[in-house]
Structure 1
Amino acid sequence: MGVLLGARIGRSMTRRITTPLAQMLRVLDRMGRGDHDARVTLTEAPAEVDTVATALNAAADEAATERDMLRAFQQHSAAVRQHLSRTHAVVAAAQSAGELVDADHAVIRLVPDEEGPSGPHVWSAPDAAGDVSPLAAIPVEWLAVGPSMAFVAVPDSGPQPSEKELVALRTAGAGPVITVAFGEGTEPVGHLTGIRRDGRAAWRPYEVHLISMLAAELGRILTQARLFEHASELVARLQEVDAAKTEFLATVSHELRTPLTSVAGYLEVILDEDVGPLTTTQDKMLSVIDRNVERLRRLIEDLLLMSRIEAGQLVLIPEPVDLAALIESVSQVVTPAAADLPYLFHRFFRAGNATRQGRPRHRTRPGHRGDHRRTPRRDRRRRLPRRRRHRHHDPAPDCRATAPFHEHR
């Protein structure tokens, strides 16, 4: 009887242990497969097994809290990134840091910068006690930029800041404190300090990781905001220069047209021989002046055209263009500039031949080869026999008379 009773008691105790352990194994398997809401629920279990189950549920709750904080970090980080102003970004970062890690106070102390925002930025929870304004006025000179961070539990433990800062922390009623440096490379930009009042829980490892990530994100955001501000200032200055240039072009164009009109009028009177006959040399010289007056008039019209284009007042009206006349006018412009070149090919009569006798696919493309300057053209007409090709490029009589050409071999 005693043996049977002992065996029965043994089986009962085994079931009381193995059944909850099997249940915990099933919960762990569900957690491993992604069911983060799974928890161990025991009705009757030994105290030791119940303690293990409670610890398992606490670890699961801690993991859930960490996941929630990671999602909150992503939201807070996005809220800070949306600001293009450095001042607004710092204010948003102080609030995000305090809310993210459930701090009583968050203080951002920036390194003095003539171009950036000045002064500390403080965020405090609605029910927070203590005054952190003395702390905000103290620069952080004991923590360098990098992955380092300092834990200060007032009044002891951890790397200690200056005595002046410790006094300010005690005035704020600080308990667990974390200070993270952030910057650009090795250059410090500022320090982020999170403060919990005395008696609250210490910082968890993932809270430390998240607040350091937020500080690093703030450093990148401040760099981007500074570059954006510089770009905006540059664009504003360029717009001012462009507006001044447009006004200058409009003024100069109108001021030049008045004397040019007088010059053109008197020149026309002289060319018409209203004031007396002209010699051949005088007529030739005055013709050159007349062409340059017309060229100057076109340049002034181009300036006015640019002003209308930049002001958005240009109205385009398509109309036919005499290609031969256009190329001839270009020739008159570039010939004086190319007079000193060793070789110059400008048989512009070929353009007229191709325009009148071939398909309208003639193309003139200026180019250069070494010290040579050339104007090649492509004629889409039907190919001629080789024996007649030398006659194909002979100048037409009208072109020879109206468009003299030179060829240096």
Structure 2
Amino acid sequence: MAQALTHQMIAREAAAMLVQDNPVVKNINTDRQKEYGEEVNGYKKGDTVRIKVPPVPVVFDGAVFANGGSAPLTQETEVSLTLDTQKHVALTFGAKEKLLELSEFKERFLKPAMNSLSAIVNADLLTRMKNQTPNVVGTWGATPSTRAVYRSAASSLDRFLAPNDNRSLHFSSDANDGLAEANATLFHSKSEIEAEFDKNAVGMFAEFEFYKQQSIPVHTNGAGTGYLVNGASQVGGVLAVDTGTGAIPKGSTIVIAGVNAVNPLTGESTGKPRSFVVTADYAGGAGNVSIAPAIVQNTATQRGNVTALAADNAAITIFGTASSAARQNIGFHRDAFAAAFAPLPVLASCEGYTASIKGISVRVMTFGDGYNDKENTRIDVLYGEKEVRPDHSVRITE
């Protein structure tokens, strides 16, 4: 006689499937248990955890301490990650299904359920990451058909000193097809990399491990055009503008004339414009546009992110074509973003179990419907995501 399935068995299988089969989850940093706890502590939607970001110290010349001035504060900064998303898949099964072998139950019930849940989580994470990534390469409206754009993506991460390992690139089927015969020699199966084939992995190139995705986010530009900076020497995450018309949606990327990016360690100009991403929908006209990263000028005692502050009436260029849409493939280092899948408790009067594998927590919980003589089971995840080093990510537009 088959052994009855337990919530613990189902939860562990569900968590393992989410870790193994979701190409974004397994390539983003989820090792944040110390920040939000490793046990079931009653987390709920809206809770916030804090993540430490190491500082970038400033190097001075000569023997005189800090060149005779005050040394800048060397302390970690923090980003707040809100557990703002709870998603679940609903199942109804009874005693007969519980007596199935685990392998049979997994194929008939659990796998379809987790495929659906994983796909939604995957798409949600990619959209968030797109809206947090300021740097972009490629040509709006043109599917990449050569290797050059992916080398440019790798170079973007290099300029901001992203580590060379643990880089992944998630691109559409059309982008994969756009490389045509180049794929035959460009890519090789993941089995050659780690002796284990992954159905989503296409191969390696330019230090990226490529994953073909069906849920690459699309960004739609607004009609925004002709904007100018309103007032010189602005700093921070809000940019005042005057001349200009049309909306600028969240996730749009901009550059400002005369404002270049800097090497994060040396402070020297990269020779490339500093890109910013718009972090909130902007209706249009004169006003304040929210951007990231916050503008910080590089000085002798402060490691900033721009060579100079914008001049009054400096031109603002919005990447892409106004009032049109384009897919945004994304390449990133594992630590560019952080995700927290917090453990949910099993509620009173319910049966269930919460399993955690590699920082991913999944709750399986069953509750009865005595009025209709049914038993319902839900599989839940509670998670949040936050950019940590967004310059270690890059969008590859189509």
Q: Tell me the TM-score normalized by structure 1.
A: 0.21
Larger gyration radius, structure 1 or structure 2? 1
Name which structure has the greater RCO, CA cutoff 8 Å, separation 6+.
2
Higher strand content, 1 or 2: 2
Q: Tell me the TM-score normalized by structure 2.
A: 0.22
